[in-house]
Amino acid sequence: MNKKRKSLFSFSAWLAIALLLCGCSQKEKKNVANPIQFQTYTLQKEFKGDSIIPPIAVDLRVEYPTQYPDRTILKKIQLAVLRSVLGDKAINNPADEMEKMAENIINEHKEKIMELTNNPQIEDGDCLSNTYHQTSQEVLFNQDGILTIQTADSSHYGGSKGIKFLYYNNFDLKTGNDLKYSDLFIEDSEEMLSSFIIQKLMVDNQIEDESQLEENGFIDLSEIKPINNFKLDTDGITFVYNPSEIACLALGIIKVTLSYEEIRLLMKEGSLLSKFVD
């Protein structure tokens, strides 16, 4: 091998190694933890009941962000997290707001029972009251500039089991904004996304015809659309429909996951999700 060919070979080899190392470096950047820290606040409160009013237990859990390099973004996320658990009027620190919420739930329970007791014309079903209430947050995804928090509301009205609802916040940590699906997908993508969701429901329920979805308890196919209640992770976007939203109550919570690969043509260029399909 002459010196010129040897030199070209060496250069090509080093170039290949450099590109390989760059590629590895880029892949590693897809799994970078966000520099945000949390403190968990919990509260358990109980009214033990008396001769007229049955007991009720309240259980609350908040995952409250406490540290992030950008204080403006941190405050924005703190308020959104607080309100997703404790209501739109929550503005103070978690401990105070949780105490107020627990008291309100217990007082509402007492008022409903007294209303039923004092007005015999009210049907029991028109004045149901919780015997147990739980609102709990969990950090599901916290990397690559995305923070996904799940809030679960569970209530029990007696009988064999209660009812549960799930809600999600997906924060863009560059802005502090709570992402909507319109932030992630191109305009006029709703119809195509709806089609993907219905197709995935058919696969999940092992049926071959759309009409069978309604036979299986889904209420109205025209109402099955992408919604802003979704969660994000490295595998895809999961739309979450709470009881009675698109199906009968007995089917409970419906989750539909679409991989980024199958919906990549519908994703906005440069969106937070684009890194997962590069």
pLDDT in tens, 229-244: 999 999 899 999 999 9
* Residue 13 confidence (pLDDT): 46
Which strand ranges, in their side-by-side order, compose the sheet holding 37-47? 37-47, 56-67, 132-143, 146-156, 163-172, 177-178
Task: Tell the residue number behind the tokens 């092992």, with chain if given.
Answer: 206
Name beta bridge partners: 177.
Answer: 172
205: Cα within 13 Å, side-chain hemisphere: 23
Q: Does 24 have pLDDT greater than 50?
A: no
Q: What is the CATH number of domain 182-276?
A: 3.90.640.20
Query: Domain residue spans in the chain?
Result: 37-179, 182-276
Residue 264 has pLDDT above 80, yes or no: yes
Burial degree of 223 (CB within 10 A; 0-12, 13-18, 19+): exposed
Q: Which of 22-26, 59-63, 95-99, 123-127 has the highest mean pLDDT?
A: 59-63
Superfamily per CATH, domain 37-179: Fervidobacterium nodosum Rt17-B1 like (3.30.565.40)
Instruction: Compute the Cα dihedral for 85, 91, 96, 97 and give only its sign.
Output: negative
On the question of a common fold for 37-179 and 182-276, the answer reads: no
Q: What is the pLDDT of residues 93-142, one digit of tens each?
A: 899 989 999 998 899 888 888 877 777 665 554 445 558 889 999 999 99
